[in-house]
A and B are shown apart, each in its own frame.
Chain A
């Protein structure tokens, strides 16, 4: 059969896999989640008619004994905690990641490749396993406490686990590569002669950092912050394992709705709310950057 240039068919053929991925594997599940959030949960999982906004109402209202809606901050508090944890994780990742990326970017090329490899090593193992390792390290009989006891720094084991701090540490640990790599990518391309030029023009170390490196690294920092903040907001492995389910975050809350609580509708509603929040934030950021660019 001759390969006639039937361009229309070719386009469909070439775009097919991408279209399939986007429509069937992404858009369709989204529609399902959206639909489920407006249905009534079945007792053993799943959802059925009638259509209702009950799940969304429950996010901000509780019902008292007389079935009257009362403003209830339980879930909002979970949401707020998630926001704070994600924000803290982003800031911590930046504080650790920026100097680390700078260090990596200023090594000789061979060293650089090796260091990038080291940063990506955690990706070779499942996050669940890695977080569980932290439990082994941080628990009362864990390595950290053994060292502290042996060094005489504490008489009784320190309880690290099942706290906001432990969750935060777990999130920072898991997200750090996502901050380091984009910043490294930007810094690696930074022309060393620019630094010499600034140094020559009476700029000290601090001025070079503030006036030259920071502005040029900002796109990498923005990408890194986004890659850390958004997944941290919905993180559930670290909160579930290191928080022991005591300190709820929105990711664990959603996971609970689909497992133990068997409230698919509410779980879906929470997912949609989270997604809408992130999307609104991104649109706001994009607009702001667009206006920055135009001015």
Chain B
């Protein structure tokens, strides 16, 4: 699956909005790939374009080395799990899952067997005769997943599939998604704005902003070695001016958990005033106003420390934890 310098411009003239700006990506077979970015960054537009609901203004979308831009959605070997699930309300769970298989003209017996297997895959055996409205949100999510996986697409698109679920259910479904992806061997392309979700599920992540892909990499790369200030900030990191740290790069990023906050006078480091202490359970978050005019966040093991809000502190930033940023 390859996306080649795709542009998407909505409208024309001075009111035109560029949703995608020269986006190129390559997604490998059987990969769990995630498009991560804030709302309005163009990730959903890109997903809809791969499904066939939007046409690129420029560029190509190749699936198995073939440009599929001219193909309508029902001719693309790609299925989508909608954010709203979009289950057919007048059909039973089994009929929903069978829908794509029947449209592909599979034999009745084969369809029935596949539906059975899919319901087992998403752990909904025995729910085949229910109607969507009789299911909980999490169960509906599973049906939507089974329906999209059933035709064994080359690529499965997931449009913020877990955003409607509560936190506990979301964690469970994340584990389920990963399990189903491994079991079926289908390439998954997930769209999300949840960094944690992207980090825990993906083989690779593309961080997007304002219609552009800023960085593509493994979760650890994105997390530890952000390529730009936006990525560092979006992933929850601190961004500091390089000269304050004695670096040649204009900026540097550091994860909050790599920052050490100590009482003043404990050695070299950046001085500042502790503004806030937030108790997070296993961790404690400190917000420090550095003397160089930057606010720094730090997270440490929740040990009963001698630090008090308002007091002067010293922040130590280990050299190996700093990621130099060019822009």
A292–B305 alpha-carbon span in the complex (Å) = 70
Q: B82 near A201 (CB under 8 angstroms)?
A: no
Of the 9-residue stretches A88-96, A113-121, A202-210, A268-276, which lies at the interface with chain B? A202-210
Q: B-facing mask of A189-230, CB < 8 A → 1, else 0? A: 001011011111111100100011001100000000000000
Q: B84 near A193 (CB under 8 angstroms)?
A: yes
Q: A203 near B82 (CB under 8 angstroms)?
A: no
Determine the chain A residues whose CB is within 8 A of the CB of B90 once the complex forms: 215-216
Determine the chain A residues whose CB is within 8 A of the CB of B79 once the complex forms: 200-201
Determine the chain B residues whose CB is within 8 A of the CB of A196 once the complex forms: 53, 73, 82, 86
Q: B74 near A201 (CB under 8 angstroms)?
A: yes
B residues 43-96 touching A (CB-CB < 8 Å): 51-53, 72-75, 78-80, 82, 84, 86-90
Determine the chain B residues whose CB is within 8 A of the CB of A194 once the complex forms: 86, 88-89
Q: B103 near A207 (CB under 8 angstroms)?
A: yes
**Most chain B beta carbons < 10 A, residue from A196, A201, A203, A215:** A201
Please name the residue on chain B nearest to A208 by beta carbon.
B74
**Most chain B beta carbons < 10 A, residue from A191, A196, A216:** A196
Say whether chain A's binding surface is mostly helix, strand, loop, or mixed.
helix
Q: A200 near B88 (CB under 8 angstroms)?
A: no
Determine the chain B residues whose CB is within 8 A of the CB of A203 once the complex forms: 74, 99, 103
Q: A201 near B99 (CB under 8 angstroms)?
A: yes
Please name the residue on chain B nearest to A199 by beta carbon.
B73
A282–B269 alpha-carbon span in the complex (Å) = 86
A129–B135 alpha-carbon span in the complex (Å) = 54
Determine the chain A residues whose CB is within 8 A of the CB of B88 once the complex forms: 194, 197-198, 212
* Given A196-B53, A215-B90, A216-B90; A201-B103 close (CB under 8 Å): yes
Determine the chain A residues whose CB is within 8 A of the CB of B52 once the complex forms: 199-200
Number of A-B contacts (CB under 8 A): 57
Q: Does B294 contact A (CB under 8 A)?
A: no
Q: Does B100 contact A (CB under 8 A)?
A: yes
* Given A196-B53, A198-B99, A211-B99; A204-B74 close (CB under 8 Å): yes
Please name the residue on chain B nearest to A216 by beta carbon.
B90
Closest CB-CB distance, B176 to chain A, in whole Å?
Answer: 20
Q: Does B142 contact A (CB under 8 A)?
A: no
Interface size class of B (residues with CB under 8 A): 20 to 34
Please name the residue on chain B nearest to A194 by beta carbon.
B86
Determine the chain B residues whose CB is within 8 A of the CB of A200 once the complex forms: 51-53, 73-74, 78-80, 148
A211–B100 alpha-carbon span in the complex (Å) = 12
Number of A residues contacting the other chain (C-beta, 8 Å)? 17
Closest CB-CB distance, B137 to chain A, in whole Å?
Answer: 16
Closest CB-CB distance, A205 to chain B, in whole Å?
Answer: 9
Q: B86 near A202 (CB under 8 angstroms)?
A: no
* Given A194-B88, A212-B88, A215-B90; A199-B74 close (CB under 8 Å): yes
Which of A197, A202, A207, A212 is in CB contact (< 8 Å) with B82?
A: A197
Q: A202 near B84 (CB under 8 angstroms)?
A: no
Q: Does B175 contact A (CB under 8 A)?
A: no
Determine the chain A residues whose CB is within 8 A of the CB of B100 once the complex forms: 201-202
Q: Does B229 contact A (CB under 8 A)?
A: no
Closest CB-CB distance, B21 to chain A, in whole Å?
Answer: 25
Which of A193, A202, A211, A212 is in CB contact (< 8 Å) with B74?
A: A202
Closest CB-CB distance, A195 to chain B, in whole Å?
Answer: 9
* Given A199-B74, A200-B73; A193-B82 close (CB under 8 Å): yes
Determine the chain A residues whose CB is within 8 A of the CB of B104 once the complex forms: 202
Determine the chain A residues whose CB is within 8 A of the CB of B80 once the complex forms: 197, 200
Determine the chain A residues whose CB is within 8 A of the CB of B53 once the complex forms: 196, 199-200
Please list the 4 inter-chain residue pairs (A to B) with the smallest Cβ-Cβ separation, ordered nearest first.
A201-B100, A202-B103, A197-B86, A193-B86
13 A-B pairs besides A196-B53, A202-B103 with CB distance below 8 A are A197-B86, A198-B88, A198-B99, A199-B53, A200-B53, A200-B73, A200-B74, A200-B79, A200-B148, A201-B100, A202-B75, A202-B151, A211-B99
Question: What are 27 sample pairs from A and B whose C-beta atoms fall under 8 A apart?
Answer: A193-B82, A193-B86, A194-B86, A196-B86, A197-B82, A197-B86, A197-B88, A198-B88, A198-B99, A199-B72, A199-B73, A199-B74, A200-B51, A200-B53, A200-B74, A200-B80, A201-B100, A201-B151, A202-B74, A202-B75, A202-B103, A203-B74, A203-B99, A204-B74, A207-B103, A212-B88, A215-B90
